[in-house]
Chain A
């Protein structure tokens, strides 16, 4: 484990920036926390987490896939991909770091999504341990330790020091390049802070949230629950929950007609939208109840059933904070508890 004084954090950023692009969570002009490329003087946000998740780095909201150009009777096919430069994301929280593992399970299984893989390979994730969880946090439900985040390298800010620890080869490489800034440190120095964070995590409103029974075996029971219409009654059918979610990974592929060619792009889709799963024969989910059910069944039942019990949620709390009508995965899980326990 290494450390450096927090007062020198800008020097650390400058040193990373000298090698590759660095993104940090910062407050933008409107006062919202978001990841922006670090420039001199840019400071870390005080907010616990960014409004949008960090999945954008590997799975951007819109991504060009391929272009077609018409030349007489010929169609030219152009791979619009550009070689990705190496980049570092600093300050990713434990929940978002776990979301990458979940996205990997979708995009890096056969057939591998080469667009995602390309970005993933070039990105180094530096996580930052939480010290002040919000009431909407429930990452511990999914076995995530906010005081000991995953990632290529992890950081802790305790007292006047920033502690860093490499967890993967990529992390080692990054830290060894910064060696002249860093001093050696002992793991014990962060123990008190970790304990404090874990104590708060124990006291969070959803610390006791129990997802036992949400698995493939109870699929039919949950699917047929009478609670769905009531739960989804107020749902507006907007895409807020899916777009702020770090693990939602559905996308649509569309063609944009430029007038002299076609640009094929993919963009995030939302199971809450009326044209989601629209096919030639029509749509298999025609009501908001069905769409709503799909979102939560996917996260709490289908995903764990197909991925050794791993849920499609990391408990970051974004949907809890952002849903216009305050309906969310926790309320759904609590309402359906009775069906399976």
Chain B
């Protein structure tokens, strides 16, 4: 039996349409398990993700945010994920600088063939965020009650 009081983190996963979303699909069709609290948002490309999206996800109650895209070199639009890589590196570094737990954000490259990697990544990320506990530092109190 699972403890009902146990903290179950809400995770927002931005997945690029061409690789990672298909990877998630593959994880599903292979019946690989990952927590149901991972909410996937499909985006055309990892570089579609504006830093504001990440912050908004935290505002609206996410405890962790992960961005998944094609492996560098494999972007459907050739170079999108290279830009995303730079943006996210700087954004995450800034969040860390403001004292927000750096384990709450992550970028992983997951191809359409990597269903197993997708499930493993999510399991690992959920475990890491569970350990951190609820997001307090980037929450919006107005959304709580």
Contacts and interface: CB of A to CB of B under 8 A. Distances in A.
A and B touch in the complex (CB under 8 A): yes
Interface of B: 60-61, 142-143
Contacts of B142: 256, 258, 263
A86 B60 CA distance: 35
A266 to B, nearest CB: 14
Contacts of A259: 60-61, 143
A180 to B, nearest CB: 42
A239 B60 CA distance: 28
Interface of A: 256, 258-259, 263
Contacts of A256: 142
Contacts of A263: 142
Nearest to B140: A258
A256 B145 CA distance: 12
Closest 7 CB pairs of A and B: A258-B143, A263-B142, A258-B142, A256-B142, A259-B143, A259-B60, A259-B61
A263 B141 CA distance: 11
A265 to B, nearest CB: 9
Nearest to A263: B142
7 contacts: A256-B142, A258-B142, A258-B143, A259-B60, A259-B61, A259-B143, A263-B142
B12 to A, nearest CB: 13
Nearest to A261: B145
A256 B143 CA distance: 9
B7 to A, nearest CB: 20
A245 to B, nearest CB: 27
Nearest to A256: B142
Contacts of A258: 142-143
A242 B86 CA distance: 39
